[in-house]
Structure 1
Amino acid sequence: MDQTQSGPDLDAYFLRIGYRGPREPSLSVLQRLHALHPLAIAFENLDSFLGRPVRLDLPSLEDKLVHARRGGYCFEQNTLFWKVLAALGFEVSGLAARVLWNQPEDTLNPRSHMLLRVEIDGATWLADVGFGGVTQTAPLLLAPGAVQETPHEPCRVIETADHYRLQVQIGGEWRTVFRFDMTEHVDVDYVVSSHFVSTWPASQFVTTIMAARALPTGRLALRNDRMTVHETGGPSRQVHFATPAELRATLSADFGIEVPEPGRFDARFLELGLGAPAELR
């Protein structure tokens, strides 16, 4: 990261995620921060959905994710997390991944996801607080093949000839989240990738309402007018929103997100034909 700009406001960030503990570059601190961040700061794409710019500079990230009732997507979440970890003295670098979630294993997508590499006492850990409905809630040791328990799903990293794959176990099945290698990425790489996914007309970040949040008892995952509630160790259920007002209320109450430009949000919701038919509203 660009170390010429001032560092993050750690007091404000720790208050935002509810952290009270030591400020040292230890594994226990990383684990605690990684558990708390996804519980407090939701994944969401409302700015790109509404055609608003997505900024990755630290002041903008703090204004949005720390001080306002907002979340963000991977480039925002992991950039902020990177700056916090670096300020605490962690050895952190950036990586990029090709998303494979809900796609065939042989799909070759662009590197549109950001994650972090953290070195602690000679061991490599993977940190990622911004992958929607299966966002990690613990750092993962780069130990190919080892099943690693987290506060939510078991995870593992598998190694192939030229890359690694991150997998999560859901319903007894291992599912690939993304593939990555250890090529280091820097600020400008993420600025370019973020601009593409937030402005390309066919991007799901432009065409679809998305939000997700980890809960102590499971997860919430929203896509357009439907929210799935996943209970840890139990069944999942779906909630349908008939009106944009209902959806905005849930985003506020359950995701902790204050919807920007509510009038414009409502109009886009209706333009996409979401919710109940007009005659039933």
Structure 2
Amino acid sequence: MSSELIQQQMPTPLATAIDLDAYFRRIGYTGDRTPTLETLREIQRLHTAAIPFENLNPLLGIPVLLDLNSLQQKMVKNGRGGYCFEQNRLLSQVLKALGFRVRELAARVLWNVPDGVVKAISHKLLNVQVGDAWYLADVGFGGLSPTGPVRVELDTVQTTPHEPFRVVDINEEMGLQALVKDEWRSLYSFTLREHQSPDYEMFSWYLCNHPDSYFLNNLAVARSTADRRYGLRNTVFTTHHLGGESEQRELTSVAEIRTVLEGVFQIALPDVPHLDATLQRLIDEVAETRHKTV
């Protein structure tokens, strides 16, 4: 077979270029496009405000696609959010296009995990070089996504637009901690070992298919604005005021959940026939659980 015929039979590769103009319109960024710390800070702050963390695809049985075209279609053009593998994959491509050196890392979640319990690797974060320094950039950890970069420097308290963060040593790995209500809480542990796209495909597939996956059985949504963080866990809607108190409200109807998702979290809800039935199931399950504990 001639080389010309072989080339004709090879599939045409999909376009993989990041549309920076569309992304910047999505997050409202109008600043400089050079790889500086200020650029990184502003992009991270705006991204966490504009593109919410949400797991509607796994919850509704819709595939989570991690190729760049699908991510741009979903989160840039269609007004959706996503979870860590989507969010930080999109951000990594933006930063690389701007000239940043980016290493893609993976972590074990420690948030709300009892001492002694070892969780599988299930989180993606980014390691970004600015000058001679390296920073963590993570727009996909949900309710505590850092809204600014955190320098990879042990035991140094660092400010962000929201909580202070620090990097610490945890069992010979690095750990990211946030100061929450005067207590340092661990988000996850990680190493600086770079991972590749097939690794994240495997991690993400597990979270979307294993019957015990939190994302298959629960609704998790988060968004940060200048003076607060919003969170939704199933039917509990929480507003955390920056430097102040938190407010919680129980959502008791599908209409209420829809209103919060579309209004507060600014999500263009997927047009699938079973959306309302799935939201109603969550309401019924919460009610049943509370009835059993009374």
TM-score by length of 1: 0.94
Q: Which of the numbers 210, 215, 221 marks the counterpart of 2:220?
A: 210
Cα pair 1:128 1:136 within 8 Å, conserved = yes
Query: What displacement does 1:61 show?
Result: 0.3
> Using the alignment, how far apart are the partners of 2:143 and 2:170 within structure 1?
25
Cα pair 1:241 1:275 within 8 Å, conserved = no
Q: Which of the numbers 248, 253, 257 marks the counterpart of 1:243?
A: 253
Question: Equivalent residue for 1:233?
Answer: 243
Distance 1:246 1:274, change over 3 A: farther
Q: Which of the numbers 178, 181, 193 marks the counterpart of 2:191?
A: 181
Distance 1:104 1:276, change over 3 A: closer
> Using the alignment, how far apart are the partners of 1:7 and 1:122 within structure 2?
27
**Does 2:63 align with 1:53?**
yes
> Using the alignment, how far apart are the partners of 1:108 and 1:74 within structure 2?
20
Q: Which of the numbers 158, 162, 184 marks the counterpart of 2:172?
A: 162
Q: How many residues align?
A: 275
Q: Which of the numbers 75, 84, 97 marks the counterpart of 1:74?
A: 84
Larger radius of gyration: 2
Q: Which of the numbers 90, 94, 99 marks the counterpart of 2:104?
A: 94
> Using the alignment, how far apart are the partners of 2:126 and 2:117 within structure 1?
23
Aligned to 2:274, what secondary structure does the other structure show? helix
Where do 4+ consecutive residues of structure 1 move more than 6 Å? none
The Cα offsets for residues 134-188 of structure 1, whole Å up to 9 and x where unpaired, read as 0110010001000001100010000245201100001100000000011110111
Q: Which of the numbers 43, 61, 84 marks the counterpart of 2:94?
A: 84
Cα pair 1:242 1:276 within 8 Å, conserved = no
Q: Which runs of 5+ in 2 are unaligned?
A: 1-13, 289-294
> Using the alignment, how far apart are the partners of 1:87 and 1:188 within structure 2?
21
Structure 2 letter corresponding to 1:12: A
Query: What displacement does 1:202 show?
Result: 1.1
> Using the alignment, how far apart are the partners of 1:12 and 1:197 within structure 2?
29
Q: Which runs of 5+ in 1 are unaligned?
A: none
Question: Equivalent residue for 1:152?
Answer: 162
TM-score by length of 2: 0.90
Report 1 or 2 for greater relative contact order, CA contacts < 8 Å, sequence distance ≥ 6. Answer: 1
Instruction: Choose 143-152 or 153-162, whichever is displaced more.
Output: 153-162
> Using the alignment, how far apart are the partners of 1:162 and 1:234 within structure 2?
35
